[in-house]
Amino acid sequence: MNENQNRFSKKEYILLGILLFAIVLRIYYLFVTIDQPVWWDEAEYLSAAKHWASQVPYDFNPQRPILLSVLEAVIFMLGGGEGILRFILGTLPSIGIVLFTYLLGKEMYNKNIGLMASFLMSSFWLLLFNTTRLHVEALLLFFTILSIYALWKGFFILNNKYKVAAGLFLGLSFLTKFTSILLIAVCFLFLLVTKRTKLFKDKHAWLSLLLFVITILPYFIWSKIKFGSFFVFLTGSREVTALLTNSDVGRTFGWYVLNFIPQFTLTLLLIAFFVGIYTLKELVLGFDLFLKNQGLKRVYADFFNVIFIVANFLFFIFIQRSAEDRWLLPIAISLFLLIALGLQYVHQILVKFKVPKIAATIFILLVMGAATYAHISRADQIIDEKKESYLQVKQAALWLKENTKEDDVIITASAPQTTYYSERKTIGYGPQEDIEEIIKNVKPKYLTYSLFERHPEWVLPFLESNQSKFIPIQAFFLDQEQKQLALVIYEIKY
């Protein structure tokens, strides 16, 4: 075996070690959180899945994309439970993200960048946390990195099969979360700038577009049949509605979103990120060649990663004007690639100043090790803090399942979670007159009042003034001493 083959073999063994590390971490967190209560967002997807799989009464929220619920419904119909869902739709995609971070880094830059980025991604606290949740985020990040990888392999390594596959993965990303329109826009802009008129003459690019349309078309047809509109998902978002109606005038820009960069990286990797930004000088210095369509692979890669990060921040700061950290999770791909570039640059500088190469390598490994420890500690903390949140909602819903008939109706402010666990029809709180009319005509069996979710102000006085009609029958507490009341189930007497 020659020297090049030995070097390649060593890097492959390192990759296998990273993947094994990622698998062990994720399997550990899977077992730690396998029975944790689901949150509102998770329950909306799960309740829709149970509706399709077993006719559980539930009205689909048009703001939610459809793919996750469809996959969950298929697993339910095949006899899988929540543990299987968490493994297939959370753990496996999260492992895939680590693998494709390496593959993308290798293709865009080099194997060392791929290895460093994938190792850091393996312990990224926000990914680990969302891997334990049945949100769309882990699945979205997986389809996002598949899309970028297929685009790069197709249009810059010139593999036509990957060109076509990019359309499929972009379509799946869109069906996972509608903010993937940012990814689609960035990919189109990137190809338009780098390929220019050649893009429109490439038949495989057109086939990619066709596959994208075929992938998302069933959703739009279903949306038209179900809600009467092809674009109902736009009106499901208050921010997009405000933008379309110009009713967001006066709302402050979401500058705080910029704080997510230090939150994502934590201290050590934030420094490496800024060093990585410094290495982008090649993009600036070589921009004249870039404009002449003579850019090197490194410059093209830098350009993509920069515009992907910038596009996300522009959207959430100036259009959405609000965000949760998980909404910007896709930028972790470009973020960790830039961090790896920073670490590589530091290594090169150390060697340049006569530091032995082995000592420079050990220093970089120590930095990554310390960063990994910080990220796992952060993941441990937040996963442990959140793993029993909404536990009382789950307990109450399971009690309701055991103490109701299939056609009984429940009034609750935690409608998605209660539907998912109780498998009964739920009605959320609205105006008092509407609830009174529902009680009169529908005759719901139970009503819940809790510390969770926001209840209309009229609810508690209404219950207190009708104590003969609403009888507290079961209570759930925040503490074992049962001093902090969390949720009360009322039986409705007729």
Rounded CA-CA distance 454/451 in Å is 8
Q: Who has greater pLDDT, 381 or 286?
A: 381
Rounded CA-CA distance 260/53 in Å is 38
58, 48 contact by CB (below 8 A): yes
383, 132 contact by CB (below 8 A): yes
Question: Is residue 297 very low, low, confident or very high in pLDDT (cuts 50, 70, 90)?
Answer: confident
Can you give the pTM of this predicted structure?
Answer: 0.93
Place of tokens 């190809």: 191
Sign of the alpha-carbon dihedral angle for 122, 125, 131, 135: negative
pLDDT in tens, 421-452: 999 999 999 999 999 999 999 999 999 999 99
471, 488 contact by CB (below 8 A): no
Query: Is the predicted pLDDT of residue 68 greater than 80, yes or no?
Result: yes
Domain boundaries, the chain: 3-386, 391-492
Rounded CA-CA distance 235/314 in Å is 21
Mean pLDDT of the chain: 93
pLDDT in tens, 450-488: 999 999 999 999 999 999 999 999 999 999 899 999 999
- pLDDT the model gives residue 1: 43
374, 266 contact by CB (below 8 A): yes
Angle (nearest 5°) at CA 81 between 77 and 84: 105
Sequence-ordered list of residues with C-beta below 8 angstroms from that of 424, at least 6 positions apart, any chain: 57, 400, 401, 404, 406, 408, 409, 410, 418
Query: Rounded to the nearest 5°, which phi and psi values hold at 172?
Result: -65, -35
Query: Is the predicted pLDDT of residue 245 greater than 80, yes or no?
Result: no
301, 105 contact by CB (below 8 A): no
Rounded CA-CA distance 198/344 in Å is 34
Rounded CA-CA distance 4/9 in Å is 9
Say yes or no: domain 391-492 is CATH 3.40.50: no
Query: Is the predicted pLDDT of residue 2 greater than 60, yes or no?
Result: no
Query: Rounded to the nearest 5°, which phi and psi values hold at 450?
Result: -150, 175
64, 44 contact by CB (below 8 A): yes
Q: Which of 162, 153, 175, 46 is nearest to 107 (CA)?
A: 153
